[in-house]
Structure 1
């Protein structure tokens, strides 16, 4: 998972950004090279400040593994996505194989499995039916939903759950 070909800098950043509140300071102490005085100041942080601590943890670890430039891109992308101003250039993306086209379309479930957002059509179908999927910001609950080839050439953003964004193109 340290290899950017297996886990993108954005996904790596997001993993650490989503660490449990109770573990964030322990992780900062064990895994970063921040001065202990700075970490001790964070000991009393709560609420929104804990989110800042999580950003510090995610940035510092991503910087160590992927470099400062990639860490900055991942942080900017995450901030943009979760504030509504998506930075699609740096989000995880998958280019679908044209062989997936059926009658000029690719089904949502097929696209989700191909992008490794779900391990099977069954898992993807459940997620869609439960309302856990947005396509370009619109909730999709129909498992037969399909993308036209023209849509995919421009690219569509699939949001899985609350925190996973993925761009799919053809």
Structure 2
């Protein structure tokens, strides 16, 4: 695994230690509408008549085809269990607004969180920003969230007090990229 282009942030890795099955699933779920049929033919084992039916869907219905693409592509790469868990995690996160346990999880030593880590420093640690500068831009642009609440201050300390009853805190970069942080 060599890095692709200038930055590895947008790379799609096949190995789960490089890119979680959930993030792999999300990559396929975020496919452009116009590419769904072609990708279903290339990256799944679905029958061609089923692909033709899915390809003809329009409007919000195309999202069901995207979910199927994501699940089938993840199944081929990571196995049935990982595909089902990824689909369920996405459903819980986006349809029910829960902090789903299947999200990528980062373990941090408890002593690092005791004094609080500035928000702009925690996002790169969690894999949600490529650098401190990118994290600062994310926060300034209003795309950074802590436990589903917008972060407005780059230096906002994130610490043990932000951990919920489930033992984790949830960071979000935009609407579709999430990670959990657990103190160990």
The normalised TM-score by structure 1 is 0.92
SS in 2 for 1:131: coil
SS in 1 for 2:84: helix
Cα distance in 2 for residues equivalent to 1:32 and 1:129: 39
Contact 1:133 / 1:159 at 8 angstroms: preserved in 2?
yes
Q: Which residue does 1:107 correspond to in 2?
A: 118
Report 1:88-103 matches (<5 A).
88-98=100-110, 100-101=112-113
Give 1:39 deviation, angstroms.
1.1
Cα distance in 2 for residues equivalent to 1:146 and 1:104: 8
Q: Which residue does 1:168 correspond to in 2?
A: 181
Contact 1:91 / 1:167 at 8 angstroms: preserved in 2?
yes
In the alignment, structure 2 segments of 5+ residues that lack a partner are 1-12
2:42 paired residue among 30, 35, 47: 30
Cα distance in 2 for residues equivalent to 1:88 and 1:78: 8
Q: Which residue does 1:75 correspond to in 2?
A: 87
Report 1:8-157 matches (<5 A).
8-98=20-110, 100-101=112-113, 104-152=115-163, 154-157=167-170
- What is the CA RMSD across the aligned residues, in angstroms? 1.7
Contact 2:168 / 2:182 at 8 angstroms: preserved in 1?
yes
Give 1:87 deviation, angstroms.
4.9
Range that drifts further, 133-142 or 11-20: 133-142
SS in 2 for 1:55: helix
SS in 2 for 1:122: helix
Q: Which residue does 2:5 correspond to in 1?
A: none
The normalised TM-score by structure 2 is 0.85
In the alignment, structure 1 segments of 5+ residues that lack a partner are none
